[in-house]
Amino acid sequence: MKIAIIGYGNIGKAVEQAVLAAPDMVLSDVYHHNDNLSRIKADVAILCVPTREVPEYAQICVNQGVATVDSFDIHSRIAGLRSELMPLDKAHKTVSIVAAGWDPGSDSVVRSLMQAIAPQGITYTNFGPGRSMGHTVAAKAIEGVHDALSMTIPLGTGVHRRMVYVELEEGADLKRVEKMILKDDYFAHDETHVIAVPSVAALNNVAHGVNLVRSGVSGATHNQRFEFNMTINNPALTGQVMVACARAAVRMKEAGRYGAYTMIELAPIDLLAGEKEDNIRALV
Amino acid sequence: MKIAIIGYGNIGKAVEQAVLAAPDMVLSDVYHHNDNLSRIKADVAILCVPTREVPEYAQICVNQGVATVDSFDIHSRIAGLRSELMPLDKAHKTVSIVAAGWDPGSDSVVRSLMQAIAPQGITYTNFGPGRSMGHTVAAKAIEGVHDALSMTIPLGTGVHRRMVYVELEEGADLKRVEKMILKDDYFAHDETHVIAVPSVAALNNVAHGVNLVRSGVSGATHNQRFEFNMTINNPALTGQVMVACARAAVRMKEAGRYGAYTMIELAPIDLLAGEKEDNIRALV
């Protein structure tokens, strides 16, 4: 399978490593953000551009009949992106896998499985500890903030604490910055602590985690308990998930199943390298 | 979807409860073990017969064009059962889902996902605490044992302890029974403790659990850690998984995707009641 990477930031570099490690893939091209994309020579283009630019880049690729994988992560707009790409993929006889990261992505698979095997109940998704990109960007935008890092701390039952580390600009007032952050819509609904530090760079790291918990009912039997935990390097996992989905995209295309799909619409076996029968023997 | 249940032991009764709780299913018939199965009126027959009888019953149903779900659990023969049923399902334009319990079954899905997102590494499946049917039957077969219960205790890294509770027959010698059990092939390779109790019935319960752990590599990044835990009522979970797979069987059949499949070949969304788009919005 020939893989192209579009966008070469943290995620693009992680995807490159996962493609190089895959026994059944070759890396055809790495396109930087503003490269000419009029003739992509690959089976799949893995889109590592900022999330808001994903729809545009996906269309450029699909119009050439190239399959795409993205890790579009605005939860409320995933179904919309899928619906937009669906007719385009069908028309060009190709496949797009959307929202293929870890959440949305592999976590969505676990949530779906948990709900299938205990249909009545509550699932809690507890994120972290790890950096939230959205909250970090929001904190950086506050006047008087030179640099910021917003860490998401899981408190259980889907409730999170925000630990916001700020490197202040010369002469900025911590009390005033704190007040602005606490008022911001990103932070107004969660327990939030603002802490001044001499260097945000010294704190930064890409570790993250999740704790997914469900207590539910199978048939008429209550108290069925399920839990999924992970502690991971965030871009490395995102890159690997995208590469696994690139493999699934090729297989769906080969089977003539053109269209746009989320990860919960894929058979897990299609994410795996190797022969189907061997994987069934090893994993079932 | 019209569902028939074949076999009405612990699992058959659990399947019945899960079918009755499903918003999109009706229970057509419950066939006891030796009923006449020449005219099954259902979309799917859920096979709740002893595992060794599954191939025979699956063929009876598939020959009538009825889809089947089984929880066949002899790991080494699952690929073989799938290959046997595959041409029959294709010929009769129907679908069989094989090995659809929790292990093999939903655990297989988690193992596949973990391997896809961290392809290099080791997965350990730690079972229990819970009753092992195979070991219990082996202990019961020992001379001098009136009743027995073999509990599987997880010690980590896939190593298990066997706690064997025996109710002795009048005049039987515990030392001799213990020696026979320790020599039996089911127990010879694990740490095994044999304990005499006045009543095995007083200890019996159907709780079980699993702890699936993987430390692996995503791309070039090591120390990616994943864990899946559950504590469950064993027949209730098995029954619910089978019912979820009955739904997937109907959907695969409607899509013209005839054949025999393990759970890792199914899209998780097909296990879920409700509309596809609604589930994507709720779970992705």
Q: Dump pLDDT digits (tens) for A245-258.
A: 999 999 999 999 99
| Per-residue model confidence (pLDDT) at position B22 | 98
* Rounded distance between C-alpha atoms, residue B207 and residue B269, angstroms: 27
- CB-CB neighbours of A31 under 10 Å: 22
> Is the per-residue pLDDT at A66 higher than 80?
yes
B18 touches chain A (CB under 8 A): yes
Is B49 within 8 Å of B72 (Cβ atoms)?
A: no
CB contact under 8 A, B284 and A262: yes
pLDDT in tens, A259-281: 999 999 999 999 999 999 999 99
Residues of B in contact with A21 (CB under 8 A): 119-120, 217, 219-220
Assess A206–B contact: CB distance below 8 Å, yes or no: no
pLDDT of residue A92: 98
Q: Are A115 and A123 in contact (CB under 8 A)?
A: yes
Contact B108 A284 (CB under 8 A): yes
Q: Which chain B residue has the Cα nearest residue A279?
A: B112
**pLDDT for the residue A34:** 78
What was the ipTM of the complex prediction? 0.97
Min Cα separation B210/chain A (Å): 9
Identify the pLDDT of residue B34.
Answer: 78
Which of A:128-187 have CB within 8 Å of B? none
CB contact at 8 A, A268 and B116? yes
Burial of B254 from C-beta contacts in 10 A (0-12 / 13-18 / 19+):
exposed
R_g of chain A computed on alpha carbons: 21
Sheet strands side by side (includes A160-168): A130-131, A145-154, A160-168, A191-196
Inform me whether the pLDDT recorded for B56 exceeds 80. yes
Tens of pLDDT, residue by residue over B18-47, are 999 999 999 999 999 779 999 999 999 999
Using the Cβ of B106 and the Cβ atoms of chain A, whether some distance falls under 8 Å is answered with yes
**Full-model pTM:** 0.97
**Residue of A97, A218, A276 best to disrupt the B interface, most CBs of B under 10 A:** A218
The H or E element containing residue B228 is strand B221-233
pLDDT of residue A33: 76
Tell me the average pLDDT across A177-193.
96
Residue B75 to residue A18, Cβ atoms within 8 A:
no
Does the pLDDT at position B156 exceed 80?
yes
Cβ-Cβ contacts under 8 Å, B264 against chain A:
267-269, 279-280, 283-284
Give how far the C-alpha of residue B277 lies from the chain's centroid of Cα atoms, to the nearest Å: 29
Query: Which chain B residues touch A108 with a CB distance below 8 Å?
Result: 283-284
The answer to whether residue A17 scores a pLDDT higher than 80 is yes
What does the pLDDT look like over A72-107, one tens digit per residue?
999 999 999 999 999 999 999 999 999 999 999 999
C-alpha distances out from residue A158 to A51, A128, A223, A230, B206, Å: 24, 11, 19, 16, 31
Please report which confidence band the pLDDT of residue B175 belongs to, taking 50, 70 and 90 as the band edges.
very high
Test A109 with B113 for CB contact under 8 angstroms: yes
Rounded to an integer, the average pLDDT of B138-143 is 96
Percent of chain A with pLDDT over 90: 99
> Quick one: B92 exposed, middle or buried, by C-beta within 10 A (0-12, 13-18, 19+)?
middle
